[in-house]
Structure 1
Amino acid sequence: MSSIKKFEKLLEDLPKIINNMEENEFRKKVSINKWSKQEILGHLCDSAANNHSRFVRIILSDELVRIDGYKQDEWVEIHDYQNNYNKSDLLALWVQLNKHILNVIKKAEPSDFNKHCVLSDKSRVTLGWLFDDYVNHLEHHIRQILS
């Protein structure tokens, strides 16, 4: 299955999964140092916001794009997903951010997926690799939400 098809399926499936979860289960923290399922979804919103910008910059650029990392723990902390959002608002944000990404990826030309970028660790990857990695990252965290 292509990454685009997997991504579309995740966009369809995750809202059903989360809507079927009890609010207290979704917000439960097993440890002060571990994210709740709600915070994991917040992290996925941060990831979507960062990756949307990366994807657009790569597609629109004729130059090699340098991709900065971001401090994921600090992003989750500053947004305070645990206290500033309810489940339905956070899920709506995640859906809209990812629909935004899907529109960009579907608009990309096949040649765009071969454009290179340089990651913060200095490795060089293509947009195709970066998008595949984004989808794999989503799947990883969705498994955490399901556990």
Structure 2
Amino acid sequence: MESIMKLESLISEMTEIVNATDEVEFNLKLAPNKWSKKEILGHLCDSALNNHARFVKIIISSYPIAIQGYTQDDWVRVNDYQNQYDKSDVLSLWQNINRTILRVLRKAETSDFQKKCVLPDQTEVTLEWLLNDYVAHLIHHLEQIEA
């Protein structure tokens, strides 16, 4: 599946980008209410944790799973990536969660990707759609970290 291969390549790309980013730039907050690049990567850890649980629940269920949203700013604030993590720690966390997601998805049956879930707005989508959306979200934020 293309999205699985893309996720695998994004792990390498993100690693290179983060490692090439100066520590000062990685920690820089352009405004008090804007995330630093470190916090963006922390947000991607939170997203990965939430999506890992979603993917597993969809795969093991025989009926459409209701997908719950989460308050992204609160997750970043509570985890305090800005002050509690250094660059290598937040990168390692992100890599490991996404490698766990890859293991789950590689083990899934082809038919699992057509299983349904229901978004908070009541739209019904498949696991495949959710995975594609997750990968697009990663690309969006990878571009912010790279900028």
Q: Would you say same fold, with TM above 0.5?
A: yes
What are the within-5 Å matches in structure 2 for residues 68-147 of structure 1? 68-147=68-147
Q: Which runs of 4+ in 1 moved over 2 A?
A: none
- TM-score by structure 2 length? 0.98
Structure 1 stretch displaced more, 32-41 or 11-20: 11-20
- The gaps in structure 2 that reach 5 residues or longer are none
How many residue pairs end up in the alignment?
Answer: 147
Q: SS of the counterpart of 1:32?
A: coil
Native 8 Å contact 2:17 2:145 kept in 1: no
Name the SS of the counterpart of 2:32 in structure 1: coil
- Measure the CA separation in 2 of the matches of 1:27 and 1:121: 35
Asked whether the equivalents of residues 116 and 127 of structure 2 are also in contact (C-alpha less than 8 Å), the reply is: yes
- Correspondence for 2:38: 38
2:45–2:97 Cα contact (<8 Å) kept: yes
- Give structure 1 stretches of 5+ with no counterpart: none
Q: CA deviation at 1:50?
A: 0.1
RMSD: 0.9
User: What SS does the corresponding residue of 2:25 show, helix, strand or coil?
Assistant: helix
**Equivalent residue of 1:52, what SS?**
helix
The structural deviation recorded for 1:3 is: 1.0
Paired with 2:50 and 2:19, the residues of 1 have a C-alpha distance of 25
